[in-house]
Each structure stands twice: as structure tokens, then as C-alpha cells.
């Protein structure tokens, strides 16, 4: 091959080699990036983080307990007559009633007959008394004239006295019959709501048997069970938030605290009156929060605290932007924040988010708090 031909083909060969090298670089971008990345003796930052300091503010002290909804005062209603048939029941479960309202009536036919007999006995006694009194007056006049003996006059006076006593007895019997007749109507002893009905028309009832139940004044209460250590922290008048099964809340206030605890469970009961029960009903089971007042606290976001090995930790950023794990004691949770009881000072900043991705000694990059959430 001549020297002239060699010099003519050499530029084309160099161009072809350059194209092949360029194509190889384009097909492996990761290799190119790795080759172009500068060496870092300390290692690159694995996570961009924000720092946050504990927030000092007042936090409500709460005790959470479960308990039953019950009537504050429930009255068991019955009649004072035995062997009498129920004529009609005028109320049903859930109805609100007023004091003195008739709730049920008994069959009064037998009692009405007794009432008529008592009236007749009183009339008969009144007539007998009138006759005895007139005879006694006549005998008194004759005795003054000496026309009858003292013995006859005394007998006539005694007859008038007996007639007076018989009339009083007849009236007392009539009043007893009238009282029994009044028992034929069961009336509400106070305002309230009917919570139970165990009687039907036609039923023969007995004295003292429970026929109806009345929640007096329709007042309900929450009865929360608390361990003895927490029971002593509650005082009368403490506010309570009772959570309904549908998610709504009702306000209550502690009116009474049990004076003794159960010897087996070591728990006691607090009785909290519900101002407006809403959808709560007697017999329901609900959770309540007792508000014991506000106290100062240090709060961190929940995402800043991690649980490992059964303990709570936060991460602080030290030299060369490496994180150090620091153990803390946590307390109450308030929404998206948690109380730090001990282990962290108010001026110490910690990683706000992404702490769950960190380990002791990891290097991080700190970004301003307003930059948004840190991402690994």
C-alpha cells in the first residue's frame, strides 16, 4: 500500500473509533456517572432531614377509662293490690311521662262494688245515729221531770254514743275502700322516661310486683372503672368526655366517687352525670376521658420519636452531620404530637421526620424546615 493511500484512510479510521467509543458511553450512563462522581472520604449523605426543637405548651392531663351508661336513679313501679286484673296499659318503653300521669289502670268493678257497699253502710250508720240522738234528747227531758229512772237515761246515752262510733267506723271503711280504688290507677311519681315494661292488659297482678321502670328526670350517668392509683387523682366536679359508639361525644361531670374499691380487681367507680346523653342509652358501654387540668409539657412530632428494643429514641445531628441516637421517656399523646417527659432539653434539636430510616452514625443533610418533608 502506498504512503499516499495510507494518509488518505487514516482520518476515516479515527472517526470510526470515536463513534464506537461514544456509543459505548451512551449505553452505560450509570458507569459514566460513577466515573464522573468525585470521591468523598466521609461518605455521601443518605437522608435529607429537618430539625425541630421541643415545643413547650400546656397539655391537658387525661385519664381514659371504660364504663357503662346507666340510669342515675331508676324507680321500680308496681301496684299495691293483689289478685286484680290489668284493664289497660297507657305507656310503653321509651316514652317520656309527667309527674301524676296515669300509666296503667286495673279492673275496678269489684272495687266499685265495695265502694257502694261502704257508702250504704255510712248512710245506715248516720240514720241510726240520728235516731239515737233524738231518743237521748227526749230521755234527757223526761229525766229532768223525774219521769224516768237514771238507768234508762244512761242506756239511752250509751246507745247514742255507740251509734256515733258505728258511723265513724263506717266512714273509715269507706275511706279504705276509696284508697284501694285509687290504687287501681298507677301514676308516675315524677317526670322521667319509661325504661322497662313487664305488664300486659289482662294480666292478674300481685302487690309489690315490678310492672314498670322509670328513669327519674331522664337522667343518665357514665360509670367509669379506674385502677386505685388513678381513682385517687379524680375529684368531684371533674369534666368527662364520653365517646358514643357512633363517634359523637357527650359532656359529663363527676358527681360522686366510690368510697371503696373492689378487693379482687383493685378498681373503683366514678359516677359522672351526663348533661345531654344524645344517642347514649342505658346499658351501653362507652369510653370516657377524664380531664384533670392542664400542665406544662415538652412536645415533639410523633414522627420524631422511634420505638426500638422496647424504648423510645430521638436522633440528634452531631459532628460531620452524623446522627446520634438519644433515649427519651415519653408521656401523653396529643393529636400528632407526643410529650417528652425526660431525656431531652427544650433547646436541643432533633430530626423531625424520617427518624425510622436512621441508624447510629448515619450521615444526613440538613434542609430548612420550610422545605417540606424530608425524603430518603
If phi > 0 it is left, if psi is from -120 to 50 it is alpha, else beta; for residue 293 that is: left
Range of the domain at 262: 64-73+220-294
**Grid cell 470515536 in the structure block, residue:** 18
Give the end of a domain, one of 294, 311, 344: 294
**Are 250 and 304 in the same domain?**
no
**Are 266 and 308 in the same domain?**
no
pLDDT of res. 44? 54
Query: Is there a domain that residue 23 lies in?
Result: no
Burial class (CB in 10 A: 0-12, 13-18, 19+), 289: middle
Return the closest-CA partner of residue 351 out of 326, 330, 320.
326
CA angle 352, 356, 359 (to 5 degrees): 100
d(CA 255, CA 243): 18
Our count of domains for the chain comes to 3
- Average model confidence (pLDDT) for the chain? 81
Give the range among 265-274, 301-310, 358-367 with minimum mean pLDDT: 358-367
> Does the pLDDT value for residue 188 go beyond 90?
yes
DSSP states of 272-316: EEES--TT--TT-EEEEEEEEEEEEEEEEEGGG-EEETTEEEEEE
d(CA 245, CA 255): 23
**Are 322 and 289 in the same domain?**
no
pLDDT of res. 40? 43
**Are 272 and 322 in the same domain?**
no
**Are 169 and 93 in the same domain?**
yes
Beta-strand pair 47-49/364-366: parallel
Query: Is there a domain that residue 38 lies in?
Result: no
Grid coordinates of 322: 452524623
Q: Give pLDDT tens digits for 141-181.
A: 666 666 666 666 667 777 888 888 888 998 998 998 888 88
Q: How far apart are the first and last CA of the chain?
A: 63
Grid coordinates of 254: 363527676
Grid coordinates of 153: 237515761
**Which H or E run contains 144?**
helix 109-144
3-class DSSP state of 280: coil
Amino acid at each position: 500500500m502506498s504512503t499516499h493511500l495510507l494518509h488518505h484512510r487514516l482520518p476515516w479510521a479515527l472517526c470510526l473509533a470515536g463513534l464506537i467509543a461514544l456509543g459505548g458511553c451512551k449505553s452505560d450512563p450509570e458507569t459514566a456517572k460513577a466515573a464522573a462522581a468525585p470521591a468523598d472520604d466521609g461518605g455521601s449523605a443518605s437522608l435529607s432531614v429537618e430539625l425541630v426543637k421541643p415545643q413547650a405548651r400546656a397539655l391537658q392531663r387525661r385519664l381514659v377509662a371504660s364504663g357503662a351508661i346507666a340510669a342515675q336513679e331508676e324507680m321500680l313501679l308496681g301496684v299495691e293490690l293483689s289478685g286484680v286484673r290489668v284493664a289497660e296499659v297507657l305507656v310503653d318503653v321509651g316514652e317520656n311521662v309527667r309527674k301524676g300521669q296515669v300509666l296503667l289502670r286495673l279492673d275496678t268493678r269489684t272495687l266499685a262494688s265495695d265502694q257502694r257497699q261502704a257508702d250504704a253502710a255510712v248512710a245506715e250508720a248516720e240514720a241510726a245515729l240520728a235516731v239515737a240522738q233524738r231518743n237521748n234528747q227526749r230521755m234527757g227531758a223526761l229525766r229532768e221531770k223525774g219521769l224516768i229512772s237514771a238507768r234508762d237515761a244512761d242506756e239511752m246515752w250509751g246507745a247514742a254514743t255507740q251509734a256515733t262510733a258505728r258511723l265513724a267506723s263506717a266512714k273509715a271503711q269507706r275511706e279504705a275502700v276509696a284508697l284501694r280504688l285509687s290504687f287501681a290507677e298507677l301514676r308516675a311519681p315524677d317526670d322521667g322516661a319509661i325504661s322497662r315494661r313487664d305488664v300486659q292488659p289482662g294480666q292478674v297482678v300481685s302487690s309489690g310486683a315490678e310492672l314498670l321502670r322509670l328513669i327519674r328526670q331522664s337522667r343518665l350517668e357514665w360509670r367509669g372503672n379506674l385502677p386505685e392509683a388513678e381513682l385517687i387523682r379524680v375529684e368531684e366536679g371533674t369534666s368527662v368526655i364520653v365517646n358514643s359508639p357512633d363517634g359523637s361525644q357527650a359532656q359529663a361531670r363527676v358527681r360522686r366517687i366510690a368510697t371503696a374499691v373492689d378487693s379482687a380487681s383493685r378498681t373503683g367507680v366514678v359516677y359522672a352525670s351526663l348533661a345531654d346523653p344524645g344517642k347514649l342509652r342505658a346499658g351501653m358501654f362507652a369510653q370516657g376521658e377524664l380531664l384533670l387540668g392542664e400542665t406544662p409539657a415538652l412536645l415533639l412530632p410523633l414522627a420524631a420519636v422511634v420505638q426500638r428494643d422496647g424504648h423510645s429514641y430521638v436522633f440528634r445531628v452531631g459532628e460531620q452531620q452524623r446522627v446520634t441516637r438519644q433515649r427519651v421517656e415519653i408521656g401523653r399523646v396529643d393529636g400528632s404530637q407526643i410529650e417528652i417527659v425526660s431525656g431531652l432539653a427544650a433547646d436541643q434539636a432533633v430530626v423531625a421526620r424520617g427518624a425510622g430510616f436512621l441508624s447510629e452514625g448515619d450521615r444526613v443533610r440538613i434542609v430548612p424546615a420550610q422545605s417540606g418533608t424530608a425524603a430518603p
